[in-house]
Amino acid sequence: MASSNESNILILIPLLVSSLMGMVVFANGNLNQHFDITWGDGRAKILNNGELLTLSLDKASGSGFQSKNEYLFGKIDMQLKLVPGNSAGTVTAYYLSSKGATWDEIDYEFLGNVSGEPYILHTNVFSQGKGNREQQFYLWFDPTADFHTYSIIWNPQRIIFSVDGTPIREFKNSETIGVPFPKKQPMRIYSSLWNADDWATRGGLVKTDWTQAPFTASYRNFNAEACIWSSGASSCGSSSVSDASAKGSWFSQELDVTGQGRLKWVQKNYMIYNYCNDTKRFPQGLPPECNIS
């Protein structure tokens, strides 16, 4: 016969489960629990009891991993330490993506460079299979010397890219002027380290120096407050804004005055390419979202 304490626990368990069904799932800690190594024939490793993940690239192959879960909206953080030294020709991609011909995608790509030259942080947003929304930045630190946190806030109103808590890019929902926005297709997290010396460094002029191989990028401290998609439904229930209090502040988060100021600082001092300024690329007129302040 159960004791009174055991009875109380048995009563609480279904209540807890039912409350979690409409809540954000908090994921952190052991990388083994959240990611599968998908390719690389042993070049990708999960180490230190799940605390560290490394991807490696040599002349034969790169490597990659993906999340076990699919997500539909979330605040997702990962710490990365990029390939050190002469990394020219290598690309470390870290992104969210759905599947299919009209996929959605939220991209970080880190384009390596010769020793002493800055990495280029390349960002892009795809919706309904259409991208061409690149913004590129230099970083205000050496991303190979230590781990730094690269974050994506993705909610129904906007996507915010942040580095160590500093916003570098915001892509707003502009469906009212006919711009598709990623909000219906669940996405997995993917990352890969691969050779792109046909285009990545000065348009392919600088080739990968294979005497420096293997090249290694490292990952740790994954954290997600997110809506997990499973069996055709979200762990957060309805995606309406009225549910935002149950989901967390990120679900309706926007940049406050301080965040807007930091975003402008990054874009003034460290942005090196913005598709919204590339009139040669869009001779028929810039994409409609570029005309919104």
* Cα 64 from Cα 56, distance rounded (Å): 9
Amino acid at 177: I
User: 109 catalytic, yes or no?
Assistant: yes
Q: Are strands 233-234 and 148-154 parallel, antiparallel or unpaired?
A: unpaired
Q: Pick from 168, 164, 194: which is nearest to 92 by CA?
A: 194
Residue 248 tokens, joined: 């967390």
Catalytic residue among 70, 109, 225, 289: 109
Q: What is the CA radius of gyration of the chain?
A: 21
**Which residues does 232 contact at the CB level (< 8 Å), separation at least 6?**
none
Catalytic residue among 70, 105, 225, 289: 105
**Which residues does 151 contact at the CB level (< 8 Å), separation at least 6?**
75, 76, 77, 78, 160, 161, 162, 163, 165
What residues are labeled active site? 105, 109
